């Protein structure tokens, strides 16, 4: 059995595909894939949570985007990527289960892709580095969804360290664990508003950033300065967000909520106003968490729905979540899902 955790991003959204900095952590909600040798041809996958049975030829067969049910596209995507590299995956049966809520911005699809990449490469007798697995999983996701994502989610799932966030340089893919002060609780609230990147403005935002970088003569917005992008809201977010990632990483191990809280709120304001990926529900959740006692909060992930993340004194976390979610449910009629997230080790095989 192979286990791959989801992740929550503490700081640094829409910076990964701009070769910037991010600060995610692997969380104690994960996807598991169990592998058994099959007696029939092909790969057959079943999910404990999702309907339908997936049957895909070991060669990958049809284009992943055409596979039904839709969650099976990730199986087909991994097979296609491995096959393109010359791997010979034998017929196997897969049992998939996940505690990462879908459409939450907590990387349920990346956890699935990483677990599948580990399971199917192992079935083929192949060994890859964590970075190689991250690249295989990302390529599989792109093939499955058509969304040109960055590598943050896969790296976070693979390189997680218990009790630590991960400072990732998305230009070099260097990963540096950053201890989370024991006095801080990381709280996550799902807005009850599902999020899907396919069909959202995600790809458009990425294209805008690439166009601005090209106009400025830069390889990516990682190299832009605040002065260069003062009149470019999308790029202004990226430049300011990179600075916030580094400042957050510095303050996190000290547990200085007086510094961390304003950084989270500034990030949310930038994502809301400059990058325009928030929603009224996410904005309300951020406000209610702060009113209930969180030092700060922000949307996490790509936006367009999903979750917010906040930082709270550990001994106040349950009370803050109870107050904020009750008021949110009363105001919106939605059913939020709230929990304290714990940083865990990265994807691995369970003996």
Identify whether the C-beta of residue 164 lies closer than 8 Å to the C-beta of residue 344.
Answer: no
Collapsed DSSP state (helix, strand, coil) of residue 37: strand
H-helix or E-strand spanning residue 309: strand 307-313
Rounded CA-CA distance 246/302 in Å is 19
Residue 100 carries which DSSP code?
A: S
For 109, list phi and psi in degrees, rounded to 5: -70, -35
Rounded CA-CA distance 149/151 in Å is 7
Identify whether the C-beta of residue 276 lies closer than 8 Å to the C-beta of residue 251.
Answer: no
Identify whether the C-beta of residue 40 lies closer than 8 Å to the C-beta of residue 90.
Answer: no
What does the buried/exposed string (b/e) look like for 156-192 if buried means 16 or more CB atoms within 10 Å of the residue's CB?
A: bbbbbbeebbbbbebeeeebebbebbeebbbbbbbbb
Give 302's contacts (C-beta < 8 A, 6+ positions apart): 13, 14, 105, 195, 197, 200, 202, 277
Cα 317–Cα 326–Cα 259 angle in degrees, nearest 5: 35
Q: The tokens of 263 are what?
A: 């950084």
Rounded CA-CA distance 322/286 in Å is 14
Phi-psi label, residue 301: left if phi above 0, alpha if psi -120 to 50, beta otherwise: left
By annotation, the residues acting in catalysis are 153
Q: What is the Cβ-side half-sphere exposure of residue 326, based on CA atoms within 13 angstroms?
A: 8
Rounded CA-CA distance 147/3 in Å is 24
């Amino acid at each position: 059995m192979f286990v791959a955790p989801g992740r929550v991003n503490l700081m640094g959204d829409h910076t990964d595909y701009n070769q910037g900095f991010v600060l995610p952590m692997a969380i104690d909600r994960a996807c598991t894939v169990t592998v058994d040798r099959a007696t029939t041809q092909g790969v057959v996958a079943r999910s404990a949570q999702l309907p339908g049975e997936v049957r895909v030829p070991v060669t990958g067969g049809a284009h992943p985007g055409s596979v039904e049910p839709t969650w099976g596209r990730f199986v087909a995507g991994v097979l296609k990527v491995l096959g393109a590299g010359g791997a010979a995956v034998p017929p196997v049966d897969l049992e998939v289960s996940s505690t990462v809520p879908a459409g939450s911005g907590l990387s349920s699809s990346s956890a699935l892709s990483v677990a599948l990449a580990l399971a199917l490469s192992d079935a083929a007798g192949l060994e890859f580095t964590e970075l190689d697995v991250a690249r295989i999983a990302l390529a599989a996701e792109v093939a499955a969804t058509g969304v040109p994502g960055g590598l943050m989610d896969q790296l976070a799932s693979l390189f997680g360290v218990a009790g630590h966030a991960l400072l990732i340089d998305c230009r070099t893919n260097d990963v540096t664990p950053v201890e989370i002060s024991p006095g801080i609780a990381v709280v996550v609230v799902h807005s009850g508003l599902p999020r899907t990147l396919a069909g959202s403005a995600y790809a458009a935002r990425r294209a805008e950033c690439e166009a601005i970088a090209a106009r400025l003569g830069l390889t990516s917005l990682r190299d832009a300065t605040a002065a260069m992008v003062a009149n470019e809201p999308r790029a202004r977010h990226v430049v300011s967000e990179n600075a916030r990632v580094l400042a957050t990483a510095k303050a996190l191990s000290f547990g200085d909520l007086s510094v961390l809280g304003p950084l989270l709120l500034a990030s949310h304001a930038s994502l809301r106003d400059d990058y325009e990926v928030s929603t009224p529900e996410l904005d309300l959740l951020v406000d209610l968490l702060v009113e209930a006692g969180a030092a700060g909060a922000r949307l996490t992930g790509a936006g367009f729905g999903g979750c917010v993340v906040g930082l709270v004194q550990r001994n106040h976390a349950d009370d803050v979540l109870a107050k904020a979610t009750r008021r949110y449910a009363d105001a919106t009629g939605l059913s939020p899902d709230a929990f304290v997230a714990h940083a865990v080790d990265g994807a691995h095989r369970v003996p």
